[in-house]
Amino acid sequence: GLRARNPAVPVFIHGVGAAHAVFALTQKLAAGGYQRVIQAGLAGSFTPELELGEVVAVKQDRFADLGVLEQYKLTTVFEMGLANADEVPYKNGWLINENGWLDKLSYKKIAGVTVNLLNSDAGYAKMMQHKFEAAVESMEGAALHYVCLQMNIPFLQLRAISNYVGERNK
C-alpha cells in the first residue's frame, strides 16, 4: 500500500498504550519535519454494525477511563471538576479531528474511546458504550488526537476492527 508507493514515508511504532504514544509522538513530532501523521492500528468494536476486519476512521476520541469507576458508574475528570471539558484541545471532553484531510476518506467516520485496560466484562463494555456512545475502543487513539491537536499537525486515526469489546477469544 502506502509504503510500496511512497518508500520515503517514515514509519515508526510508538508502543502500546496512551502514555507510550504521547511520549513517542511528542518526541518525534517536536524534532520537526512532519506535515501529517497517520496512526494505523486495531480496535475493538462496541457494535456488530462494524464487521471484523473493517477499517474505520476515528473522527473523535477521548481518554475514557480518566476518572473514577464505582459500581459500573464512571465519573470523568471533567464531571468531577478536575479538568475543563472545553479547554483546548478538548470540546466537551472530546478530542475532535476537524481537518479536511479526514473528510476526503471513504471510510466510516466514527467516535472512539481510548482506555488503558482492555476489559472482557460485558457490563463494563455496555457502560462505556452507553456513557460515550462510541463505536470503538483502542489504547492509543486519544493520544494521537491530543498531541496532534496541541501541535497543530493534521492527522488521521485508522483502525481495523479486530474483535468485539467484551469478547476475549484470542
Report pLDDT digits (tens) over 54-78: 999 999 999 999 999 888 889 999 9
Residue 132 has pLDDT above 60, yes or no: yes
Q: Which three cell numbers stand for residue 76?
A: 470523568
For cell 476486519, name the residue.
53
Measured CA to CA, the distance from residue 44 to residue 147 in angstroms comes to: 22
138-163 average pLDDT score? 96
SS3 state of residue 113:
strand
Residue 6 has pLDDT above 80, yes or no: no
Nearest Cα to Cα of residue 112 among 91, 92, 96: 96
SS3 state of residue 76:
strand
CB 132 within 8 A of CB 125: no
156 compared with 2, residue with greater pLDDT: 156
Residue 157 has pLDDT above 90, yes or no: yes
Measured CA to CA, the distance from residue 97 to residue 156 in angstroms comes to: 8
Alpha carbon 54 to its chain centroid, in Å, reads 16
- In 10 A of CB 100, how many CB atoms? 7
CB 159 within 8 A of CB 58: yes
pLDDT confidence band for 122 (50 / 70 / 90): confident
Nearest Cα to Cα of residue 142 among 112, 103, 99, 109: 112
Residue 148 has pLDDT above 90, yes or no: yes
Report pLDDT for 5: 76
Q: What is the CA radius of gyration of the chain?
A: 16
Q: Calculate the dihedral angle through the C-alpha atoms of 44, 45, 48, 54, rounding to the nearest 10 degrees.
A: -80
Report pLDDT for 166: 80
pLDDT confidence band for 15 (50 / 70 / 90): confident
Residue 138 has pLDDT above 80, yes or no: yes
140-146 average pLDDT score? 97
Measured CA to CA, the distance from residue 167 to residue 169 in angstroms comes to: 6
Question: By percentage, how much of the chain surpasses pLDDT 70?
Answer: 92
pLDDT confidence band for 47 (50 / 70 / 90): very high
SS3 state of residue 4:
helix
